[in-house]
Structure 1
C-alpha cells in the first residue's frame, strides 16, 4: 500500500530504538578499500583517481543483501564512506566515489554511478552477496544519482543490466528536477526549477523498482526539496507504481536527516528482502 508519512521526532526516536534492538550485532566484517570499478585499460587520470569503491561485508554469512551508497556534496565535493548507522547490521555496504564538477561535467558523475552499480551486480557474489538483493541509496547528490541510475534505464543498459533488477531505490533528500550543479554548469539560474533529460522526473515510469523517498522537514530542508520528492511520488503513483513511499522527517534539516534516514533504510529493506 502506498503511504505518505510525516514523522515527529519522538516517534522516530522510538523507531530507532526498535530497529537497533532488532539489528544483528555479532557479525564479523571485512572492509576492502579503493577497489577500481572501471576498466583496467582506462587512461583518464581523473577517472583513475576517483572511480573507486569500498566494500564492507559480513564474513560469517552468505547470500547477504547489499546497499550501494552514494555520498552527498552537491556533485562538487564529498568522499566515499560507510555510514556508521549501516554498519554491523548483517548487510554489505558499498561506498562509491565518482567524478565531481567542475573538473568533470555532466553526465560524467551519473555514468560513474551506473558503472559502479554494474560492478556490484557482476562482483558481489564473489564476496558472498546475493546479486538479486542490491539496493541503491545515498544522501543529497547521492540521492539524485540513485534516482537517475534507477529511473533512466539507458545508463545500466550500457552494461547489459536492467535497472528493474535493482531491489529498491532509497534516495535521501535527492533532487528530482535537474540537479542545480548541472544548471550551474550551463549558466542557468539555480533557483528556478528545470526539468530535462537529466531530471529523474523525466524518466518516471510504471515499472520502477520499489522506492522509498526520504526528505527532511519541508520547513527546514533545502528550497523545494520536499516538494520535488512529493512531485515524483505523485507522478509515480499516477503511472501505476504500487510500491512508492514518501517520508518527511519532521524536525530534521537537510544535513541532519542523513542519520535517521539510514535507520529507515534498515527498516525498509528488512521488509522488502527475500532473505527474511
Structure 2
C-alpha cells in the first residue's frame, strides 16, 4: 500500500514537472524594419518598424497584426496587454504620420507591415494561413483599407483575401477625416472615394467583424458608418461579416472589451 502511494506521488510530481516544462514562454523582438529601401528617408527609417511578440515553444499559431490609433497624426506601436500570453503572436506596427507624409503613404506602410508578416511569420513558428489584421480607430481604418483595396498588398504579390480575418475597432469606413483635412475638407463633411473602405465593398473579402462603441457615445457617427458598411457587404453577397456595438463604451473605452471579442473570434482559427 505504501509503495502504491509513493508511486502515485512520484507520478503526480513527474506530471507537474512535465506541465511546467511545457508552459508557453514568450519572446518580444522590437524595432524590426519592415521596408527594405536603401533610399528611404530618415523619417521612414524611424517610423517603419514593428515589434513582434510570439510564443517561443509553439508552432502553427495565429498572428494578429495590430495598428495603433491616433487619428493618423499621433500614436506609437504597442502590444495590447489582453493579447499577451494567449498562445498567439502580435505584430505591433508603427507607420508614418500626417502631416509629415500625406495619403496614401500611411496606408502603404500598413500594407508593407502585413507583407512582412506574410513573408516572415513562419520563421517564428506561425502560420501564414492564420494572419488576422486589426487595430483601433485610425488603426481600424488602416485595417479595412489594406484588407479591402487589394492593390496595396498586390504590390508584394500577396492576395488580400489570404488574410484570415479583418477586425477593425471603431474605424472610419468613409474617407478618413485626416485624409479629408489634408485636402481642406472638414470632418463633418463625409466623402467616399478611393481612400474609403466603403468604396471597396466586395463579396469575396476576408471574414470581417466591425466593432464600434455605443452609437450615442461614439465620435463622428462611427457606429452608423460601420453599420452601413456591414449592410453593403451583406447586400454585395459577403457571407461572413458581423457588426457589433459595445453598449455603454465610448470611442476610446471600446478598445478593451473589443480585444475580448477579438480573442473569442480568432479561437476558431486554432481549431
From 35, 38, 45, the counterpart of 1:38: 35
Q: CA deviation at 1:193?
A: 1.0
Match in the other structure for 1:137: 134
SS in 2 for 1:112: helix
SS in 2 for 1:82: coil
Match in the other structure for 1:257: 254
From 176, 188, 200, the counterpart of 2:173: 176
Q: TM-score, normalised by structure 1?
A: 0.89
SS in 2 for 1:35: strand
Higher relative contact order (CA 8 A, sep 6+): 1
From 125, 128, 153, the counterpart of 1:128: 125
Please list, as runs of the form range in 1=range in 2, the aligned pairs for 1:22-33 lying within 5 A after superposition: 26-33=23-30
User: Is there any run of 5+ residues in structure 2 with no aligned partner, and where?
Assistant: 1-21
SS in 1 for 2:99: coil
Match in the other structure for 1:146: 143
From 64, 69, 82, the counterpart of 2:66: 69
| Contact 1:36/1:53 (8 A) holds in 2 | yes
Q: Does 1:101 align with 2:95?
A: no
Structure showing greater Rg: 2
Match in the other structure for 2:226: 229
- Name the CA distance, whole Å, in 1 between partners of 2:178 and 2:127: 35
- Name the CA distance, whole Å, in 2 between partners of 1:43 and 1:74: 24
- Name the CA distance, whole Å, in 2 between partners of 1:180 and 1:256: 20
- Name the CA distance, whole Å, in 2 between partners of 1:230 and 1:130: 31
| Contact 1:26/1:88 (8 A) holds in 2 | no
- Name the CA distance, whole Å, in 2 between partners of 1:190 and 1:135: 29
User: Is there any run of 5+ residues in structure 1 with no aligned partner, and where?
Assistant: 1-24
Q: Does 1:213 align with 2:210?
A: yes
Deviations for 1:10-56, whole angstroms, at most 9, x for unmatched residues?
xxxxxxxxxxxxxxx94200000000000052431111010000000
From 191, 194, 199, the counterpart of 2:191: 194
| Contact 1:42/1:48 (8 A) holds in 2 | no
Match in the other structure for 2:236: 239
Aligned alpha-carbon RMSD (Å): 1.0
Deviation above 3 Å: which 4+ runs of structure 1? none
- Name the CA distance, whole Å, in 2 between partners of 1:43 and 1:124: 24
Q: Does 1:90 align with 2:87?
A: yes
